[in-house]
Amino acid sequence: MSATLLIPALLLDAALGEPKWLWDRFPHPAVLMGRAVGRAEALLNRGNHRRLRGVAAMAGLGLGAWGLGWLIHALPDGGVVEVIAAAILLAQRSLVQHVQAVGDALRLSLGGGRQAVAMIVGRDVAALDEAGVSRAAIESAAENLSDGVIAPALWFLVGGLPALMLYKITNTADSMIGHRTPRYEQFGWAAARFDDLLNLVPARLTALLIAVTHGWFDPRPVLRDAPLHRSPNAGWPEAAMAPVLGVALSGPRSYHGEMRDFPWVWPEGRRDAGPDDIDAACAALWRAWGGMLGLTLLLALF
């Protein structure tokens, strides 16, 4: 049943994305989730036992999201609202649009490319050259393909809308409070660890989809480079994307004025990435999406 509902959800998201006219009038569910996380943090991230308080917050948010998903799933409408909700919580088309916008802007000017990539990455962009802007966009494409498309789709297949809602609230919480800063290191521990767990399989599936939809899969570079990433999961789609594009990714970059010497992913690749490579990354996003759609079709048939 979940596979049958996921097919139209994937197609609906791919066709419509996130209509601006709609979300200018109503808050997006992701925005509402962010407000819920922010409210929980404001109420509980204080005093002693902050890690325990963070566990309680994540449990409450997760149960609330699961329950809301179950209520929608239980509607006697043949799954129509569930499909629409799933489509809204997928992000294929919007991801491609945001990444492509970087390539389009970079073709016009380096400054425009920096402004566009600043919308989708957290690193310092003021000193990035064309290759740095391009790498940042490609890395964001690979990571968000896993977080925004493959992971939610996979969890929908596993447990329907309740599991998808649980994944999305966890991923939202991790992005907001799962940071190793004095304010969040203890309180956000549960969100960060649960997000790592929920992305364990999707990240590796994303790497597999990127590779096989390009007719290539030599696991050795991925197995070599993915574990070097600072994230236990984000390195996998990056380590697959780099060889299929033939470019080196990751490497040194600056956060909050501090240069960090991260290792290169696929160091054998070119280090002069440009707008054409961003175009290729966007095409790779659609290929991997097609692979996920094909997998879902097979599951629906059997």
Task: Give the residue extent of every domain in the chain.
Answer: 2-301
Other beta carbons within 10 Å of 131: 17
* Cβ–Cβ < 8 Å for 84, 10: no
Checking if the pLDDT of 1 tops 80, the result is no
Band of residue 148 on the pLDDT scale cut at 50, 70, 90: very high
pLDDT score of 246:
96
Q: What are the tokens at 263?
A: 């290792």
pLDDT score of 278:
98
Nearest to 113 by CA among 97, 134, 144: 134
Band of residue 180 on the pLDDT scale cut at 50, 70, 90: confident
* Cβ–Cβ < 8 Å for 170, 198: yes
> 191-205, 212-226, 240-254: which has the minimum mean pLDDT?
212-226
Say how far apart CA 15 and CA 199 lie, in whole Å: 26
